[in-house]
Amino acid sequence: MSSSQPVWDFWVRFGHWLIALGVIFQQISGNELELIDAHATVGILLSGWVIFRLVWGFIGPKYARFSSFPLTSPKQVMHSLQRVFTKQTEQTPGHTAVGGLAVYLMLILIGLTALSGMASSDDILFTGPLEPFLSSALVDLANQAHPILSKLVLIIVIAHVSAVFWHQFVMKEPLIQGMFHGLKPGFGQSIGQPNPFSKLLLLRGFILFSLCIGGAYGILGIYLGW
């Protein structure tokens, strides 16, 4: 295994563990009536993270950018999956083709689940912040879609965690440590500019993260006041 280098910046790691906790909380709180306010608040914050991650995919460091894990053809995804099953490490410090596809699916599904939650209403106990702007047909659709989308989130997360465990314990790749300290095997490839551990990037991420999380909570949570 080649020497380690900085790959995941602070905001990718911090965001990852926050959303992992958030998504677990959402799965538990979604069926608890007394937790529904907390459920809506955490869901709104998760939508802020989705916006952050989408923008970070363009202005973050090299391996956080979508250009470093582009959507590839089904053939390449199958090839990448085959390498996983045959325990051949892909020589990339960032996301592999199949890992990158899972990241896109998680982003889309978490985003759509949060959006459908915000558009939901049962006309009695709960009215989502987007409900007043939507036709009743769209609100009905959101009501029906939310439990389905939240189950799809659960399925992709289970697949993601299983894949991470496979890489970690069967293929002996240090992925989990990487999501804590940010270092991963470099396979001789450059870390790119800006350096994922630079102060400039830390500040850029802080501004964007605060704007996205604060903005989502401010606009959807407080201004539209559900």
**Integer-rounded Cα radius of gyration of the chain:** 19
The pairs formed by 52-59 with CB atoms below 8 angstroms and a separation of 24 or more are 52/11, 52/15, 52/208, 52/209, 52/212, 52/213, 53/15, 53/107, 54/107, 55/208, 55/212, 56/11, 56/12, 56/205, 56/208, 59/204, 59/208
Angle between helices 136-165 and 97-118 (to 10 degrees): 150
Contact range with ligand HEM by CB under 6 A, out of 76-84, 131-139, 174-182, 186-194: 174-182
- Number of amino acids touching ligand HEM (CB under 6 A): 43
Q: Report if residue 99 touches ligand HEM, rule: CB under 6 A.
A: yes
Nearer to ligand HEM, 55 or 203 (CB): 55
Which one among 65, 79, 83, 160 touches ligand HEM, defined by CB under 6 A?
A: 160
Q: From the CB of 18, what's the least distance to ligand HEM, in Å?
A: 10
User: Tokens 């982003």 — which residue?
Assistant: 107
Contact range with ligand HEM by CB under 6 A, out of 20-28, 83-91, 133-141, 188-196: 20-28
The DSSP bridge pattern shows strands 4-6 and 183-185 to be antiparallel
Question: What does the block give as tokens for 8?
Answer: 């995941």
| Pattern 113-152, ligand HEM, x by CB under 6 A | xx--xx-x-----x-x--------------x--xx--x--
Q: Name which of residues 26 to 65 contact ligand HEM (CB under 6 A).
A: 26-27, 30-31, 36, 39-40, 43-44, 46, 53, 64
Q: From the CB of 130, what's the least distance to ligand HEM, in Å?
A: 8
Q: From the CB of 153, what's the least distance to ligand HEM, in Å?
A: 5
Q: From the CB of 87, what's the least distance to ligand HEM, in Å?
A: 16
Question: What does the block give as tokens for 226?
Answer: 């559900």
What gap in Å lies between CA 80 and CA 210, rounded to an integer?
Answer: 35
C-alpha closest to that of 46 among 59, 29, 61: 29
Compute the Cα dihedral for 65, 45, 117, 136 and give only its sign: negative
Question: Contact positions toward ligand HEM, by CB under 6 A?
Answer: 12, 16, 19-20, 23-24, 26-27, 30-31, 36, 39-40, 43-44, 46, 53, 64, 95, 99, 103, 106, 110, 113-114, 117-118, 120, 126, 128, 143, 146-147, 150, 153, 157, 160-161, 164, 175-176, 178-179
